[in-house]
């Protein structure tokens, strides 16, 4: 029997967390920079605990106006502080509420920039390790986030995306590109099953790209996120896959 993790970005103020949580195994909770605040962090941790869903910190650029999806150039110490302050905030809340922080997954532009920047990936991995060396790092499959997390001694979890298309180099299509966000349930399910069962994804160019699928991301701010979560969960179980966090 094969195991797969299904994760979702949550605590972002979208209002659908309660509808999604029963169908996932890992949550990535906004830590107040690009979205969320102490109240949303606490309530989302509570919700995750109810469903035995792994709790992850989802740090991003301090940029609520653009939902953390605009590139920023930070000095090394600024990036380190950006990560540690957000992860510590959720770590503290978890301890107060009797929960365990399981992983860290960078958000938005921070995630995409770090995927191709060794310097950023080294700083992010080091910051996470300094908070808690037991934390796992969720990063884009085949990216520098994965290799540098491993080099730092962290457990790296290779992530693929249900609702985003890919370029032929294995990176995500920019959101400015037509077709970057997958809005069809059928297409999302088809891509998920292809990635999980074959270790490959069909890029937006039509090329077949090898990937490692250890966790599948579904964006909680998607228009049909709750329906996607239920449909993908059912499809994975139909293929005799057990959904659980790593």
pLDDT of residue 6: 98
Q: Which residues of the chain have pLDDT under 70?
A: 1
Question: What gap in Å lies between CA 4 and CA 104, rounded to an integer?
Answer: 18
**Calculated CA dihedral for residues 89, 135, 210, 29, nearest 10 degrees:** -30
The verdict on pTM exceeding 0.85 is yes
Instruction: Specify the length of the chain in residues.
Output: 246
Tokens found for residue 191: 């891509």
Neighbours of 176 (CB within 10 A): 6
> Is-contact 186 229, C-beta < 8 A?
no
Among the listed residues 125, 195, 194, 184, the one whose alpha carbon sits nearest the alpha carbon of residue 160: 195
Q: Give the domains, in start order, of the chain with CATH numbers.
A: 2-243 (3.20.20.370)
- How far is 151 from 194, CA to CA, in rounded Å? 29
pLDDT of res. 10: 97
Give the pair of three-digit tokens for residue 161: 């995306």
The answer to whether 8 touches 24, Cβ cutoff 8 Å, is yes
Residue 222: its pLDDT value, please?
79
The closest of 61, 80, 81 to 71, measured between CA atoms, is 61
User: Which residues have a Cβ under 8 Å from the Cβ of 112 and sit 6 or more positions away?
Assistant: 140, 171, 172
CA distance 149 to 105: 11
pLDDT at 162: 96
pLDDT of residue 32: 96
Q: What is the pLDDT of residues 134-148, one digit of tens each?
A: 999 999 999 999 999
Between the two ends of the chain, the Cα-to-Cα distance in Å is 15
State residue 223's pLDDT score. Answer: 78
Look at residue 221 in the predicted model and tell me its pLDDT. Answer: 87
The DSSP secondary-structure symbol of 107 reads -
């Amino acid at each position: 029997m094969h195991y797969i993790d299904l994760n979702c970005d949550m605590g972002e103020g979208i209002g659908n967390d309660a509808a999604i949580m029963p169908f996932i195994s890992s949550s990535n909770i906004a830590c107040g920079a690009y979205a969320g605040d102490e109240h949303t962090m606490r309530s989302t941790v509570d919700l995750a605990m109810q469903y035995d869903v792994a709790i992850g910190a989802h740090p991003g650029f301090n940029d609520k106006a653009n939902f953390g999806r605009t590139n920023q150039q930070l000095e090394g110490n600024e990036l380190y502080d950006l990560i540690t302050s957000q992860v510590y905030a959720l770590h503290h809340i978890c301890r107060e509420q009797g929960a365990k922080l399981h992983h860290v997954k960078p958000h938005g532009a921070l995630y995409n920039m770090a995927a191709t920047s060794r310097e950023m990936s080294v700083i992010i991995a080091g910051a996470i390790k300094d908070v808690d060396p037991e934390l796992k790092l969720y990063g884009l499959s085949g990216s520098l986030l994965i290799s540098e997390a491993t080099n730092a001694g962290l457990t790296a979890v290779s992530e693929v995306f249900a609702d985003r298309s890919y370029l032929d180099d294995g990176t995500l299509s920019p959101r400015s590109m037509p077709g970057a966000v997958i809005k069809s349930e059928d297409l999302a399910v088809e891509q998920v099953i292809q990635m999980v069962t074959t270790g490959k994804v069909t890029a937006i160019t039509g090329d077949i790209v090898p990937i490692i699928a250890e966790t599948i991301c579904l964006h909680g701010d998607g228009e049909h996120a709750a329906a996607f979560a239920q449909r993908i969960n059912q499809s994975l179980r139909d293929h005799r896959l057990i959904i659980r966090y790593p």
